[in-house]
């Protein structure tokens, strides 16, 4: 494409390019900030003005995973020499690694929280997307009595901020024993995401010509087979886009995770800031656990990027 452009349009185009770069900088700055802090020695993390050049260390990442306590005095030479490299990094920072009586390193709990986050986000995403797709298919292809009312009702569940129901949910969960369980969070996140998933998937499925399924029906397939062999592959773009959005929502959710969980099923978002609690805050550890926390979403989005780019047009120009 090289359509004729007037000087005015050329100028506007330049301005737009500059604006994009400014926006890009504003969006990337916090990420750079967190990533750089996660590699700083603790004493450089909070300097004013900020330290730009420093010798990077992985100490914050080691500290993220092990349980530590403050050293009272200097470390003995032979203990320091005997320690593995990662333990030396902790000792350099004036802390020691907490070990069980049998000598095993005690974990900080971050790894377990991270796993919890993965389990809850992945399972709730699978539920929300699969149920949403089936529901959307039904609404898209069949006569449903009161269809528009149902769809509005489904949408209306998103019309109030979810925290509004936090207290009643908490009380109900306590009665049925779902507090601090994976299942409890999975149900909650599935419920949040379902309305979104139904609406987005309906848009995508509406775009799939009925002829595709009808051809399969005439060719001897049942509607169920036609759904799995024809509709699902055709709806993959929509499914990918919906899955990314649902995953991000569940992955980042903070308020309910904070209220509903404390140990067993606690996810990473409420855990990360809770590390500030004891003693002076160690921002490098918080930064390191945050960087690790960002990685799964980045990977997931990267893997589905082709689908997402097409999905952004919401099926409008699919061919």
Name the site residues for another protein (rule: CB under 8 A): 209, 211-212, 214-222, 225, 230, 233-234, 236, 319
Least spacing, CB of residue 134 vs another protein, in Å: 20
Least spacing, CB of residue 171 vs another protein, in Å: 48
Least spacing, CB of residue 213 vs another protein, in Å: 10
CA distance 260 to 178: 8
Angle at 197 (CA atoms; ends 296, 173), nearest 5 degrees: 80
Which of 67/141 has CB closer to another protein? 141
Q: Kindly state the tokens that stand for 149.
A: 């009312």
Least spacing, CB of residue 237 vs another protein, in Å: 11
Least spacing, CB of residue 233 vs another protein, in Å: 4
CB 114 within 8 A of CB 87: no
Least spacing, CB of residue 231 vs another protein, in Å: 10
Least spacing, CB of residue 221 vs another protein, in Å: 5
Which of 90/240 has CB closer to another protein? 240
Q: How many CA atoms lie within 13 A of 94 on its CB side?
A: 9
Least spacing, CB of residue 211 vs another protein, in Å: 4
First to last CA, the chain: 20
Which of 159/224 has CB closer to another protein? 224
Q: What is the largest CA-CA distance in the chain?
A: 82
Which of 36/140 has CB closer to another protein? 140
CB 64 within 8 A of CB 285: yes
Q: Kindly state the tokens that stand for 167.
A: 């207290």
Q: Is the N-terminal amide bond of 297 cis, ω within 30° of 0?
A: no
CB 137 within 8 A of CB 95: no
Which of 72/143 has CB closer to another protein? 143
**Any idea which residue has 């269809």 for tokens?**
147
Which of 176/218 has CB closer to another protein? 218
């Amino acid at each position: 494409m090289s359509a004729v452009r007037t000087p005015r349009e050329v100028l506007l185009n330049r301005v737009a390019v500059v604006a994009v770069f400014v926006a890009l900088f504003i969006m990337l700055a916090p990420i750079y900030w967190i990533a750089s802090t996660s590699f700083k020695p603790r004493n450089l993390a909070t300097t004013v003005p900020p330290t730009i050049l420093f010798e990077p260390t992985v100490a914050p990442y080691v500290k993220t995973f092990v349980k530590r306590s403050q050293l009272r005095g200097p470390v003995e030479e032979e203990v320091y020499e005997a320690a593995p490299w990662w333990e030396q990094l902790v000792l350099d920072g004036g802390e020691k690694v907490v070990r069980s009586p049998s000598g095993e390193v005690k974990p900080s709990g971050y790894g377990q929280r991270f796993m919890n986050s993965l389990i809850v986000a992945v399972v709730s995403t699978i539920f929300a997307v699969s149920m949403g797709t089936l529901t959307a298919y039904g609404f898209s292809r069949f006569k449903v009595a009161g269809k528009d009312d149902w769809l509005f009702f489904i949408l209306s569940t998103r019309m109030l901020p979810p925290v509004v129901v936090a207290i009643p949910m908490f009380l109900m969960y306590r009665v049925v024993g779902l507090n601090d369980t994976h299942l409890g969070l999975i149900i909650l996140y599935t419920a949040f995401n379902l309305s979104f998933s139904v609406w987005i998937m309906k848009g995508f499925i509406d775009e799939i010509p009925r002829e595709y399924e009808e051809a399969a029906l005439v060719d001897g397939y049942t509607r169920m087979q036609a759904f799995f062999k024809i509709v699902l592959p055709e709806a993959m773009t929509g499914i990918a886009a919906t899955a990314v959005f649902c995953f991000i929502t569940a992955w980042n959710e903070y308020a309910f995770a904070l209220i509903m969980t404390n140990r067993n099923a606690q996810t990473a978002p409420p855990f990360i800031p809770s590390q500030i609690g004891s003693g002076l805050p160690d921002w490098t550890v918080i930064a390191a656990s945050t960087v690790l926390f960002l990685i799964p979403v980045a990977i997931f989005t990267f893997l589905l990027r082709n689908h997402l780019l097409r999905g952004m047009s919401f099926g409008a120009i699919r061919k």
